[in-house]
Structures are given as structure tokens and as C-alpha cells.
């Protein structure tokens, strides 16, 4: 069974920078996995921030950026703001038309 792993939580100061990562249980993440990143606040549906590694969805501020760092996908928030406090999930295309979401990271801004 494929597991996509993320850090459980991160804390960042307002204006600070934080990098979340997204790993694969059986190997390295690459652009062929089309990493996506999603933001979710309580009671709301997820919102797509980044897709296909580093493409920002329409309306997403440029303080959010996606990349591959080493063997993982990464989401970097530069200049964190209070309303960035959310749960963040990644998703990967793993094989044979199948996608898997990650375990999620709770980001606290304080």
C-alpha cells in the first residue's frame, strides 16, 4: 500500500518562511508524480494551491511555491500570514491512474 508522508505539524512566525515536504513510502518523488498541494480550513473543502509540482492555481498568492527538494515534493510559504494557518495536504499520481493524498501538515502561525 502506497503511503504519502508529511510532517504532522509546523509552527512559523508571521513573516517567516516554512517548507513542508511530501514523501513516498517506496521511493523518491519526482515531477512524474505531478505533486499537488492543498489548503484546508475547518469545515471547508480543500483548495488547490499548487499542481504539477510548481504551478500555482488561479488566485493563489506568490508566497506559495512548489518544488522538488531532494527526494520529496515541497511547498514553501514565504512571508507567512495569519490566514495561512491551515491544514496542508499533498497529493501524488502514483501509478495506473491512481492518486494518493498525503497525511497532512497542520501549520500554525504565531
Partner 1 sequence: EVQLVESGGGLVQPGGSLRLSCAASGFTLSSYWMSWVRQAPGKGPEWLANIRQDGGDEYYADSVRGRFTISRDNAKNSMYLQMSSLRAEDTAMYYCAPQSYTQFHFWGLGTLVTVSS
Binding site for partner 1 (CB under 8 A): 1, 34-36, 38, 40, 45-48, 51-52, 55, 57, 87, 89, 91-93, 96-104
**Matching residue, cell 498568492:** 61
- Cβ closer to partner 1: 10 or 99? 99
Rounding to the nearest 10 degrees, give the CA dihedral for residues 52, 61, 85, 33. Answer: 0
Q: What is the smallest separation between the CB atom of 93 and partner 1, expressed in angstroms?
A: 6
Q: What is the smallest separation between the CB atom of 11 and partner 1, expressed in angstroms?
A: 19
Q: Which residues pair with 21 in a beta bridge?
A: 74
Amino acid at each position: 500500500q502506497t503511503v504519502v508522508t508529511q510532517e504532522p505539524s509546523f509552527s512559523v512566525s508571521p513573516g517567516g518562511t516554512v517548507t513542508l515536504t511530501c514523501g513516498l513510502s517506496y521511493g523518491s518523488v519526482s515531477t512524474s508524480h505531478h505533486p499537488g498541494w492543498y489548503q484546508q480550513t475547518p469545515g471547508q473543502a480543500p483548495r488547490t494551491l499548487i499542481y504539477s509540482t510548481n504551478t500555482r492555481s488561479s488566485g493563489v498568492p506568490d508566497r506559495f511555491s512548489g518544488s522538488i527538494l531532494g527526494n520529496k515534493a515541497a511547498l514553501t510559504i514565504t512571508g507567512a500570514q495569519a490566514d495561512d494557518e491551515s491544514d496542508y495536504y499533498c497529493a501524488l499520481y502514483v501509478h495506473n491512474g491512481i492518486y494518493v493524498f498525503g497525511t497532512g501538515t497542520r501549520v500554525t502561525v504565531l
